[in-house]
Amino acid sequence: MTIEHAILNIQDNMTQNKYTVILPTFNERDNLPIITWLLVKTFKEHAIDWEIVIVDDNSPDGTQDVAKDLIQIYGDRIQLRPRAGKLGLGTAYVHGLQFATGTHIIIMDADFSHHPKFIPQMIKLQQEKNFDIVSGTRYKSGGGVYGWDLKRKLVSRGANFLATLMLRPHASDLTG
């Protein structure tokens, strides 16, 4: 198989599969339209079938109103799944999984700590290697964080160090 043929096969697989992005939110009124636009742009540029499940933890800043506006723009590719209170990030992902209709799941934050531009590379890697899980990292060459204060960086590094020490998972970034 030539490289060109392999690339075509990967692009064919991208259109045969559907990718659900689970996007937990809490007070993300300003970020939500931008991250959604970036996701849609990425998916359209790479002919990727998609949907976004927004799981909002009862944000007091109007995040749900913005999500409803996005549904008006993008239709049924956007779902809003509100919850009664601030129940946490992990349970938001679990909640969103209940409503996902995609063949593959992408979990990411709405605060730009995960940039959508890396999604096509991750999909390609998953398809080439038939991985069950593909995870990005901030702590390897080419990774990084932007817009984080020193406290957030230290907490992330510390949590990763402790988790790696105790669990030995062979992953470089356990705090997402």
Domain ranges of the chain: 3-134, 138-176
CA 45 to each of CA 11, 35, 159: distance values in angstroms, whole numbers, following the listed order? 11, 15, 36
3-state secondary structure of 25: strand
pLDDT at 3 over 70: no
Query: Contact 20/106 with Cβ under 8 angstroms?
Result: yes
3-134, CATH topology level: Spore Coat Polysaccharide Biosynthesis Protein SpsA; Chain A (3.90.550)
In this predicted model, which residue has the larger pLDDT, 120 or 155? 120
Q: Print burial letters for 93-107: b (CB count within 10 Å at least 16), e (below 16).
A: bebbeeebebebebb
Where residue 2 falls among pLDDT bands split at 50, 70, 90? very low
* Strand (E) or helix (H) holding 106: strand 104-107
Q: What's the pLDDT score for residue 66?
A: 98
User: What is the DSSP code string of 103-121?
Assistant: SEEEE--TTSSS-GGGHHH
> Across the strands, what pairs with 81?
none
The model's pTM is 0.76
Reported as a single tens digit per residue, the pLDDT across 79-124 is 999 999 998 888 999 999 999 999 999 999 898 888 899 899 989 9
Tokens at 134, concatenated: 């593909």
